[in-house]
Structure 1
Amino acid sequence: MELAYHGQRNREASVFRSSYPFSAIYWQPSGPRCCNCVADLALLLMTSGSSGAAKAVRLSYANLDANSRSIAAYLELSSTDRAALVLPLHYSYGLSVLNSHLIAGGSVFFPGISVMDGDFARIIDESGCTNLSGVPYSFELLERSNFRTSQSKALRVMTVAGGKLNADLIRLYRDHMRTKGGRFFVMYGQTEATARIGFVPPESLSDKEERIGTAIPGGSLTLVDDEGAPITQSGTAGELVYRGPNVMMGYGMQRSDLSRGAELEALNTGDIAVQDEHGFFRIVGRKNRFAKIAGLRIGFDIMEQALLREGIAAAVIGDDAGLQAYVIGEDSVERAQRILAQASRLPANLISATARDNFPRLASGKIDYACLQDETRKRRAEPRVVSGNVFDAYARVFYPLAVSRKDSFVSLGGDSLRFLQLVMELEQLGVDVPDGWERMTIAELGTHHPAVFSSKRDGARGLPTHLVLRAIAILLVVIQHETLWPVPGGSGVMMLLVGFSLARFQSTHLLAGRLSLALRSAINVLIPYFLIVAAYAVIWQTIPWASITLTGNFGYAEPERHEMIPYLYWFIEAYVQALIAFALLFAIPAVRRFAQTRPFTFSIGLLGFAIVARFSLPLFIEIGGRQIFAIYWVFHLCVFGWCAGFADSPAKKLVLTALVALVLGYLAFWETVWIGTTVKHLTIFAALLALVYMPRIRLPADTGRFVTLIATSAFPIYLLHRFVPELLMAPAAGILPVAAFHLMAIAGGVVAGIAANYAVAGLRNLLSRYSIERRTELRSA
């Protein structure tokens, strides 16, 4: 027997011939034993503890040997078999995979990576694995990673145990293995029986996928009623009892138990089952997974099955106080309550459902019901907190996306624009938002006490630096576009904030490969942009294709020829191109893995690439002065902002500061062609230092509210500010003094943007309210 281990860092499999460090108390046959323990005691293994406290199971050498031989027999294992072992060895199922292959003379391969890893299928195939065993949760993860589409040549056997696998998945993997000429085994077992108790022969996996099959070779299964009398009639439920040489010696609760011999001949499994006319058993519940509620005996497993039939994944618990269901997804809560009321015949006030992102699980992959019971007890003991106002604020800002109380700003794919809108909404609600609130769920945020917004409080905490910089940047853009004074740098700071926003709000999605969520932020930018493009197209009676394709900043089109809209919208094109660049980069699994393990190192490497592009590409691309709008000319600024988002230690901040000083110093004082260039790069440098070293900026309360208003309206100000002087004020151009005209144009552009922002927010709120009312009417109907 050889044990092959595939490590995370070393991509070559290593062969170990020494004993593996089991996470259990294991006596070697020839090694020393506790002086008080009996000679037959080989192993103390903990039960899963999925529905209560875990207990130590005493297993003998005879138990281990018998169960290993039985499993090897019905799986028809031989010395040519190699198992991919993804289950922990302190779990009876995982240990049985090792022992059954050991006794058959086969081998075991330890992949060392998750089944969700993109390389998992390739690695086990290259290792020559013939067998793969998993718990139901393992197969759920395999399905998410498209395992069935992989070309695994050697795999001939797959097995599932450790809980009930969804019938659809059983059919999928049954058919998958049949098409490959292999076999799929559904098995049943308990630690108290060493591991395996029953299995379904692959040829018997028909349309009754809920069955656990018949007893393993050498064992027998029967049913008994509440008084312990045998049940022989098919279709009658009773407790499942197993007899066989693999039944444990007994439990070990204290030291003295180690000296006791075998105490059991039969194992009362605690599972309630029925036997069909073919002799196959089906689990219908758990003996301790029942409660008498309002005089009715309610089986929690039966309730879970009722929900699952309606497509709702749930974990159901309960006690005398009522039935509690935990479901995946906020949209399943009301439907789950309705289904449970029908299935249990309990009054609605004794049934509650709570949405979760996922279920707590044990190392075996089973749902941790004990954890859910603790969670339920704690929630009942705490005063209920209503977060409806916070929820409504999220629903308004993220309309038309569906929002649940388990969502957070980041999980919803929030961006810098929505961040600012939500800050305003929460401030109006008087919610005290702590640092890092964007990663808190809506329910958690709703528990924070109302804030007292006074000048003292605002002065003490200050505003987020990126919010202040956004307000300053848009004002610089408006002023420079109107006056042509040498105060450039606003657009550069905005590009810096694009990268910082990606790092802060979208990096979780990018690193996880959820590119659609990361790109969702572009929708809020592109919709109003394309409305403006459409307006120009109508007025010009032609289509500005360069703007439609977001490539006008590449220097091949001219607004004068109506090929693109005015140059000032180049920033939107560069913004979208930067998003696409990040999405393409993180679409590569190897890049994501490296960025996940070493985010700052990856960021510096990306910065190096962007800097090289900035200095080298202009040598090969000749578009004259238009190159200042090209993505390669400004992408390094975006990456500077991205790096600032990951500079979370003094050393990283120092490295980033040195690189910024070197690059921007060169551009400001060596490559500069006029004073405006120097001002521009020094402004960007100051903004980056503020991002890295000043998380918040203290401002008086009134100033803070004004800055927040400007920052929140920054994008509509950018879109609309030039329409004020060029359209609305055009008749007054030769009448007003130049200074007055400039001042009114700047103020008018800002006011136009603020007004547009309020109008859009009002429309969004109106649509959101209508949507909520409509859903309420449909549910009532």
Structure 2
Amino acid sequence: MDFLQRLAGFGERTALVFPGRAAISYAELSRRVAAMAAEFGARRKLVALEASNSEHAIVAYLAARAGGHVVALIAPGDALAFDAFEEDFRPDLCARPFDGRWRIVERQSAGEALHPDLAVLLATSGSTGKSRFVRLSRTNVESNAGAIASYLGLTPEDRAALILPFHYSYGLSVLNSHLAVGASVFVSAKGVADKGFTDDLRAAGVTNISGVPYSYELMDKTGFSVDELPSLRFMTVAGGRMPVGLAETFRRRLEAAGRQLFLMYGQTEATARIAYVPSEAMADNPDSIGIAIPGGELALAGEDGSRIDGSGEAGELVYRGPNVMMGYALDRNDLARGAEIEELRTGDLAERRENGFFRVIGRLKRMSKIAGLRISHEAVEHALASRGVVAAVTGDDRRLVAAFSSGQAPEDVCKLMITASGLTALHVEAVAVDALPRLASGKVDCQAVAQLARRSQKADAGITEAFGRAFYPRRVTPSDSFEVLGGDSLLYVQLSLTLERKLGRIPEGWEKIPVGALARLGSQKGNRRVVDTDMLMRALAILLVVLHHATLWPIPGGAAALVMLVGYGLARFHGAALMRGETSRLLRAVAANLAVYAPLVAGFSFARGEVLWPSVFLVGNLGIFDPKHMLPYLYWFVEAYAQVMLIVAALFSLPAVRRRVAANPFATGVAALVVTVAIKILAPKVWAVGAVQIFTVSDVFYLAVFGWCVFHARRARQRLLVLGMAVAAFPFMAYWGGNWTGSWVKFMLQLACVAMLLYAPRVTVPKQVAALALPVAAAGYHIYLFHRLVPELLLSQLKLPWPAMTTLSVATGILTGIAAFHAQKALTAWLARRRSGGAALGAHAAPAE
């Protein structure tokens, strides 16, 4: 009996859960399905359904199935696809939103018979040109749902998170397999990278999550943690090749928490699933597709069609099972045909291992499977040709590359590729050539096209490699962006310098642009450069620090400006992650910066013959330890920076704080500013540490909060409020702090910083200024750490006039820091090359025809 006839038998058990709405029980679902099935009518019809992940669409799908109709699932929001289906298949009913309301519209009866076994039509994923649909029978759907429920061990207690579209066979299989056993489905309103995704899943009590490899990449980048989902039992992945490293990462995380990961392989032509790797075998078979699902059989066929029974020999992967489709359909006439194939030739080249598991090693035809979409290279070429683009397309399971010779702009060709393939800008690239490479036969040389793509990517490698070095040991792919990688303000300055050198400019908003797209941007000429004001401020601030320490001039304030920039960078680069509770990203950034500080602590400890514990534990600035047993006070900034970050991380680990800040980051910032200014004023009354009070976190925290408020002051009134608070606070601080020249210089500098960040966040400067300022800004942290080593250890031994001594101290301080910065870059570059073995990113060559 079809599982749709069993819905009512599960009674009041929960069937469907939608965010913010009352759950739908099986009894209620059965009533609604029966009512809509009656609305469809008794005569068997073809129903075209716009299959959004919505209550209406899911009920309509179940009603069409339960009523014995044939239902075609069309991608939501794609009016062209729906119109094309209507033209080719002439559906009897159309169920879709019209004018914001869900409607069922009856069309004039087409009259052609529908095969009695036919149940569902699914578009072949990623197909372009004329629509082609997979014909699935009731047996196909029912058997596949049962097989999936069997090997996953689904029970009525399970609750799936439906994050995939259910017009996609994988998403549909999640829905069918759970309803078949009386389990429930949580239909998520958020994607895996959206804020609150994990909170929604935890509140819904999901026991399993299914996603494509790209879903897991996003989860890994956004700090998804299985520990936050106490009811989670397992996760599944299908829809493309899962990178072995990523699979291993999630397997270890899940196993450590007592959960399971299932790698699966399938095709729409087999309803959904063909093979899976049992979770207990994952560790030994991370690059395998496993074994056939229950009721199915996998085999290999040679080029002559003969069966390959041994291990280690490659052949086309062939599948037999009750879930193999009836066949394809191009128009309404095809829907009267019965089952036409007994076995599915997958088009994948595979080999059998000695343990009986199968591994896919390539494709027989020019196809790519990216983000769950199977893309025909020929189809994309045809789509480009229809728009006047003479191109040859190649690619692998990460991206498509088109070499074209018809003179269009690469970005325009990329847009056409996106439209034709359904992919995103992260997955396509276009390379302009004088002429397409061809074989002697006159056919396009696909291997040569792939080589063109690799050469193009090598030309872009400077930026890609710079990102790889900056974020070592994390792996950086062309689809990553600075924001996704969790970069901080120091890395932002370093990579801005790289972009300025490679492109002759710093693109606005580059931190949100994928690395691959950045690498393809053209260079810019001219004598002017647009740079972020905070980078110029950083360079000026570090120069003031060096001058202040090398002279007796009253020019303090550089370190205070750096503290303000800490808060500004915190809001800019970590604010969104903190509001999601992802404090680990912030802590990783802190750890990376402290790793540069650690050799200083070790060196001073060795020189003094004791472990300088206050500096080891980053509390030397608190004024409660003998200076003989810690680093010099000039390193207070590093300790205050770490303390600020740890306090912020602790605060944002509290859900109540996260919710309050996320609701209004500016207002909460202003409130925090009032509190921290009060702490600065009142702290000396209860914690009197004397002159070193100016180094304590209580004395400088408000500066970081000022930086937060400046960043979140998006409206004119908000900017005016922050400026007004600065105008009130800083003169008071100058007067209260001693009313001497140095005090006024220090605090007026902070007022100027606030005004510039508020009203001139990007400025145009001569390229010579940028060429001088950006390297200093990029190496600013290293300059701060190392600028006094040479003057204290070597120059102090020389008897030089003070002008010469001051000049040498400043010059050697800056140069020492820059040298340390480049030494670290060289070390990380060497480590990155050693880890990757020098392997270059590039598309795999498709076989030539």
Task: Please state whether the residue corresponding to 1:90 is helix, strand or coil.
Answer: coil
Partner in structure 1 of residue 508 of structure 2? 435
The Cα shift of 1:579 comes to: 3.2
Match for 1:55 among 132, 145, 152? 132
The 8 Å contact of residues 83 and 130 in structure 1, kept in 2 or not, is answered as yes
The residue type equivalent to 2:344 in the other structure is T
The superposition leaves residues 233-262 of structure 1 with CA deviations (integer Å, 9 ceiling, x where unpaired) of: 898967746565x665654434x448x424
Match for 1:490 among 545, 555, 558? 558
Partner in structure 2 of residue 384 of structure 1? 456
Change (3 A) 1:648 1:385: farther
The 8 Å contact of residues 241 and 269 in structure 1, kept in 2 or not, is answered as yes
RMSD: 6.2
Aligned pair 1:213/2:292, yes or no?
A: yes
Provide the C-alpha distance between the structure 2 equivalents of 1:318 and 1:433, rounded to a whole number of angstroms: 35
Partner in structure 1 of residue 585 of structure 2? 514
The 8 Å contact of residues 477 and 490 in structure 1, kept in 2 or not, is answered as yes
Provide the C-alpha distance between the structure 2 equivalents of 1:205 and 1:424, rounded to a whole number of angstroms: 43
Aligned pair 1:526/2:635, yes or no?
A: no
The Cα shift of 1:556 comes to: 1.4
Provide the C-alpha distance between the structure 2 equivalents of 1:6 and 1:206, rounded to a whole number of angstroms: 34
The Cα shift of 1:620 comes to: 3.0
The Cα shift of 1:514 comes to: 2.6
Change (3 A) 1:593 1:234: farther
* TM score, norm. by length of structure 1: 0.66
Aligned pair 1:36/2:110, yes or no?
A: yes
Match for 1:464 among 532, 536, 546? 532
The residue type equivalent to 2:456 in the other structure is R
Match for 1:688 among 754, 761, 767? 754
The 8 Å contact of residues 22 and 89 in structure 1, kept in 2 or not, is answered as no
The superposition leaves residues 388-436 of structure 1 with CA deviations (integer Å, 9 ceiling, x where unpaired) of: 7945994998598698784776778766566656666776778444334
Partner in structure 1 of residue 844 of structure 2? none
The Cα shift of 1:171 comes to: 14
The residue type equivalent to 1:750 in the other structure is V
Provide the C-alpha distance between the structure 2 equivalents of 1:200 and 1:429, rounded to a whole number of angstroms: 45
Instruction: Give the alignment of 1:616-765 within 5 angstroms.
Output: 616-648=682-714, 650=716, 652-664=718-730, 667=733, 676-699=742-765, 707=773, 711=777, 716=783, 720=787, 728=795, 741=802, 746-757=806-817, 759-760=819-820
Task: Please state whether the residue corresponding to 1:21 is helix, strand or coil.
Answer: helix
Provide the C-alpha distance between the structure 2 equivalents of 1:626 and 1:419, rounded to a whole number of angstroms: 32
The 8 Å contact of residues 222 and 231 in structure 1, kept in 2 or not, is answered as yes
The Cα shift of 1:751 comes to: 1.9
Task: Please state whether the residue corresponding to 2:57 is helix, strand or coil.
Answer: coil
Instruction: Give the alignment of 1:178-577 within 5 angstroms.
Output: 190-192=267-269, 194-195=271-272, 210-213=289-292, 216=295, 240=318, 242=320, 244=322, 251-254=328-331, 256-257=332-333, 260-271=335-346, 289-291=363-365, 375=429, 380=449, 384=456, 387=459, 390=462, 394=466, 406=478, 431-437=504-510, 447=520, 452=525, 457-458=527-528, 461=529, 463-477=531-545, 487-504=555-572, 512=582, 513-515=584-586, 517-523=588-594, 526-527=597-598, 529-530=600-601, 533-534=604-605, 537-538=607-608, 545-559=613-627, 562-577=628-643
Change (3 A) 1:764 1:91: closer
Provide the C-alpha distance between the structure 2 equivalents of 1:223 and 1:421, rounded to a whole number of angstroms: 52
Task: Please state whether the residue corresponding to 1:384 is helix, strand or coil.
Answer: helix
Deviates further, 676-685 or 70-79? 70-79
The Cα shift of 1:632 comes to: 1.3
The 8 Å contact of residues 463 and 696 in structure 1, kept in 2 or not, is answered as yes
The 8 Å contact of residues 68 and 99 in structure 1, kept in 2 or not, is answered as yes
- How many residue pairs get aligned? The number is 693
The 8 Å contact of residues 224 and 241 in structure 1, kept in 2 or not, is answered as no
Provide the C-alpha distance between the structure 1 equivalents of 2:517 and 2:759, rounded to a whole number of angstroms: 28
Provide the C-alpha distance between the structure 2 equivalents of 1:416 and 1:405, rounded to a whole number of angstroms: 21
Provide the C-alpha distance between the structure 1 equivalents of 2:260 and 2:137, rounded to a whole number of angstroms: 31
Change (3 A) 1:220 1:676: closer
The Cα shift of 1:373 comes to: 9.2
The Cα shift of 1:634 comes to: 0.5
Provide the C-alpha distance between the structure 2 equivalents of 1:232 and 1:770, rounded to a whole number of angstroms: 45
The Cα shift of 1:552 comes to: 2.5
Larger CA Rg, structure 1 vs 2: 1
The residue type equivalent to 1:21 in the other structure is H
Provide the C-alpha distance between the structure 1 equivalents of 2:280 and 2:561, rounded to a whole number of angstroms: 66
The Cα shift of 1:637 comes to: 0.6
Provide the C-alpha distance between the structure 1 equivalents of 2:625 and 2:377, rounded to a whole number of angstroms: 68
Provide the C-alpha distance between the structure 1 equivalents of 2:281 and 2:604, rounded to a whole number of angstroms: 63
The Cα shift of 1:629 comes to: 1.5
Task: Please state whether the residue corresponding to 1:263 is helix, strand or coil.
Answer: coil
The 8 Å contact of residues 135 and 325 in structure 2, kept in 1 or not, is answered as yes
Match for 1:95 among 153, 162, 172? 172
The 8 Å contact of residues 269 and 325 in structure 2, kept in 1 or not, is answered as yes
The superposition leaves residues 277-307 of structure 1 with CA deviations (integer Å, 9 ceiling, x where unpaired) of: 9xx9976669x93159xxxxxx999xx9xxx
The 8 Å contact of residues 544 and 563 in structure 1, kept in 2 or not, is answered as yes
The superposition leaves residues 340-388 of structure 1 with CA deviations (integer Å, 9 ceiling, x where unpaired) of: xxxxxxxxxxxxxxxxxxxxxxxxxxx9999999648889478837547
Provide the C-alpha distance between the structure 2 equivalents of 1:674 and 1:699, rounded to a whole number of angstroms: 33
The residue type equivalent to 2:540 in the other structure is I
